[in-house]
């Protein structure tokens, strides 16, 4: 009798644990599903933006916009951490080509510090190329330093062309040898 009671308790506890495990798995699945669908909605929303809407993004959303845009074109892209990024917001790879990108969503012209940061990032990440992409323009000193260090600068006009459908590769070829 006592043995039967113990067996029933063990079976009851085992069944209870099994149910708790299934509920926990279901909750984890639902949470993961919600996270993934939220990210997918954000990606779709960002990729539909026009340049005037990009002007209203914060810096992190602008970096994500560039990330999703590059991913859509088939590039392997990594967003660096928000702090201690060593001067690069994104690291782009395609084949053996590695490019570090400093993203600047600004209202005024981007200054020399953005170019200085991405020059440092080029060495740190062992990249072949460095670039700064902005929704704005660049100061004369930023252009001069970029020219000396072979940093590609994409201003508002270039970004607009990319948004409107021109491919990154095509714009890259048109701008990689630009002298300011």
Mean pLDDT, rounded, for 18-29:
65
Structure tokens at 121: 């990032």
Predicted model pTM: 0.79
Check pLDDT > 90 for residue 65: yes
State the pLDDT confidence band at 47, using cuts at 50, 70 and 90: confident
Q: Residue 180 falls within a domain, yes or no?
A: no
User: Do 155 and 78 reside in the same domain of the chain?
Assistant: yes
Do 104 and 91 reside in the same domain of the chain?
A: yes
Residue 147, classified by CB atoms within 10 Å of its CB into exposed (0-12), middle (13-18) or buried (19+), is middle
Q: Say if residue 179's pLDDT is above 60.
A: no
77 in the same domain as 151: yes
Q: Which two tokens stand for residue 19?
A: 């149910």
Place of tokens 């590609």: 152
Range of the domain at 82: 51-175
Q: Are residues 77 and 153 in the same domain?
A: yes
81 shares its domain with 1: no
Asked if residue 139 and residue 60 are part of one domain, the reply reads yes
Exposure string of 86-113, with b = 16+ CB inside 10 Å and e = fewer, is bbbbbbbebeeebbbbbbbbeeebbbbe
Q: How many domains does the chain have?
A: 2
Q: Based on the fold, state whether residues 94 and 125 are members of the same structural domain.
A: yes
Are 108 and 125 part of one and the same domain? yes
- What is the C-alpha separation between 138 and 116, in angstroms, rounded? 13
Q: Is the pLDDT of residue 180 over 60?
A: no
Statement to judge: residues 12 and 72 lie in one domain: no
Distance CA 20, CA 10 (A): 15
């Amino acid at each position: 009798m006592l043995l039967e009671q113990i067996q029933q308790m063990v079976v009851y506890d085992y069944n209870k644990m099994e149910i708790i495990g299934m509920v926990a798995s279901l909750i984890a699945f639902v949470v993961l599903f919600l996270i993934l669908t939220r990210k997918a909605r954000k990606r779709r929303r960002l990729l539909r933006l026009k340049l005037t809407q990009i002007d209203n993004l914060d810096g992190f959303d602008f970096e994500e916009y560039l990330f999703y845009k590059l991913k859509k074109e088939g590039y392997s892209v990594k967003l660096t951490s928000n702090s201690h990024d060593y001067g690069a917001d994104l690291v782009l790879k395609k084949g053996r080509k590695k490019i570090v990108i400093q993203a600047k969503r600004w209202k005024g012209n981007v200054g020399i510090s953005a170019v200085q940061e991405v020059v440092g990032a080029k060495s740190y990440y062992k990249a072949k190329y460095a670039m700064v992409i902005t929704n704005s323009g660049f100061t004369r000193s930023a252009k001069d330093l970029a020219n000396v260090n072979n940093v590609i600068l994409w201003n508002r006009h270039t970004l607009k062309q990319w948004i409107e459908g021109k491919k990154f590769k095509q714009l890259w070829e048109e701008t990689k040898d630009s002298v300011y």
